[in-house]
Chains A and B, each alone.
Chain A
Amino acid sequence: MLVDFELVKRAREGDHAAFTQLVQAYRKRILGTIARLIGRPEDVEDVGQEVFLRLYFSLDQLRSEEVFEPWLYRLTVNAAYDYLRRQRRRGEARMADLSEQHVMLADAAAGSRAQQEEQRRRQVRETVQALLANVSEQDRILLVLKEIEGLSLKELEKIYRVNENALKVRLFRARQRVLKALAAQGATARAKGSA
C-alpha cells in the first residue's frame, strides 16, 4: 500500500483533502499501468481521470480499507477495457499502426543518441502493441497486468474475483496466442529479409 488505511478511511468519509492525497499517491502508478494497457500516450490522462472519478463516486461501496488497492486496480481495468472497446468500435488505429509518415519523420530526426534511444523504445512499444493486438481486450489487459505490471495471481484473483485456476487457464491461452503471433511476425520478417 502506498498510503495508510486511515487516509483511505478519511477519503471514504468524504474528506476532500484525504481524497486529493490518495490520488496524488497513486496517480503516477495508475497512469503508468494505463499507458501500458492502452498503448496510446495521448489518451492516458483522460482514462486516468476516469479511473479517479469512478473512485470518488464508488468509495462508499468499498467494503474495507484493506481492499483499496485491488479495488483501484479493478476500476483501472474497467476504464481501460471501456476505452479499448470504444477504440475498437471507432475502428481507430492502435499505436502499432502509426502512419508510415510519422515513423519516417521520426527516423529522419533520429540523429542524436537520445533520439536513437527513443526510436528504439518506440519500436519496442509498437512491436509489443502489435503482438497484444492478437488477443481480446480482456486477455490483453490480464496479460499486461501479470507479465508487465508484475501482479501476482493472488492479486489478480482479488481484482477479478475469479479463482486462480481460471486465471491461469486464461493467461496460458492468451500467452499461446501472443507466442503464435510472435512466430508469425518472425516468419514475416525472415521472408522480407530473404526477398
Chain B
Amino acid sequence: MDPREAELERLLAAYREACPDPEPSLDFMPRLWERIEGQRSWAREWRRLTEVLVGAAVALSLLLGVVLARREPPVSFYTSTYVEVLAANYSQEGPLDPEVLAVDQEIPQ
C-alpha cells in the first residue's frame, strides 16, 4: 500500500475514534416535540387561513351569482328580426297598391 494511502487510513481511523457518538442532551426529546408542535400549529394556521379564504371565495361567487340572477334583464331595442317586422307591417298595411305594381312592371329592363 502506498505510504500516503496508509497514512490517510490511519488518520481516518483515528478521526473515528476521536469523534465518538455524543450523548444527546437531556432536553433533546422535549425540544424536538416543541419544534414539531410549533411546525404543526403553523401548518394548522396556514390550513385554517386557506380554508377561510376558499370559503370566502365560494360565498362571494354565490352572492354574485344570486345578484346577477335577480337583476332586471337589460332593455333590448330589438325584440324581433328585421324580416319579422317587415312581415308584420305588410300584413297590417295589406297588399301593395296595384298601380305601384304596374309602374314597377313598366320600367324598361
Contact = CB atoms under 8 A, between A and B. Distances in A.
Interface of A: 20, 23-24, 27-29, 31-32, 35-36, 41, 44-45, 48-49, 52-53, 56-57, 120-122, 124-125, 127-128, 131, 147-148, 175, 178-179, 182-183, 186
Contacts of B19: 32, 35-36, 125
A125 B18 contact: yes
Interface stretch (B1-9, B44-52, B86-94): B1-9
Given A27-B24, A45-B25, 7 more contacts: A28-B24, A29-B21, A31-B24, A36-B19, A49-B28, A128-B12, A148-B15
Nearest to B25: A45
Main secondary structure of the interface of B (DSSP, over half): helix
Contacts of B25: 45
Given A28-B24, A35-B22, A131-B11, A183 B4 contact: yes
A179 B5 contact: yes
Contact of A45 (B11, B21, B28): B28
22 contacts: A20-B29, A23-B32, A31-B22, A35-B22, A36-B19, A41-B22, A44-B22, A45-B22, A45-B24, A45-B28, A49-B31, A49-B35, A52-B32, A53-B32, A53-B39, A56-B36, A121-B18, A125-B18, A128-B14, A131-B8, A178-B8, A179-B8
